[in-house]
């Protein structure tokens, strides 16, 4: 993913940080969407805000690491599993 960003937007540190912040915001939204499947809307908002304002994650959001995009992909996989599970079995 970093190679794609670097190829499209040159290897500028500011561009990488902007992409990392956008991925972090998408991660907070994905966590909110996953939490809504299990708890009420207010509790899901509390979960996503506590994740979004976690000091450790905010610290690492300013670094160029692969953990935040990997976590986003993992949470999206959980959302996909939960949405496919709610439609019933896929095989007859």
Q: Which residue's entry shows tokens 């990997």?
A: 70
- DSSP result, the chain: -HHHHHHHH-S-HHHHHHHHHHHHHHHHHHHHHHHHTTS-HHHHHHHHHHHHT-HHHHHHHTS--SHHHHHHHHHHHHHHHHHHHHT--S--
pLDDT at 89 over 60: no
Per-residue pLDDT reduced to its tens digit, 8-60: 667 677 777 788 888 889 999 999 999 998 999 999 999 999 988 888 877 77
pLDDT of residue 32: 95
pLDDT of residue 66: 76
Q: Which residue's entry shows tokens 């190829």?
A: 7
* Residue 75 · residue 32 · CB < 8 Å: no
């Amino acid at each position: 993913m970093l190679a794609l960003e670097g190829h499209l937007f040159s290897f500028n540190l500011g561009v990488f940080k902007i992409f990392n912040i956008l991925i972090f915001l998408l991660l907070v939204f994905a966590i909110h969407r996953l939490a809504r499947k299990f708890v009420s809307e207010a509790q899901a908002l509390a979960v996503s805000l506590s994740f979004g304002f976690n000091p450790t994650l905010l610290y690492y959001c300013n670094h160029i690491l692969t953990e935040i995009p990997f976590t986003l992909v993992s949470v999206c996989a959980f959302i996909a599993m939960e949405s496919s599970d709610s439609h019933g079995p896929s095989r007859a």
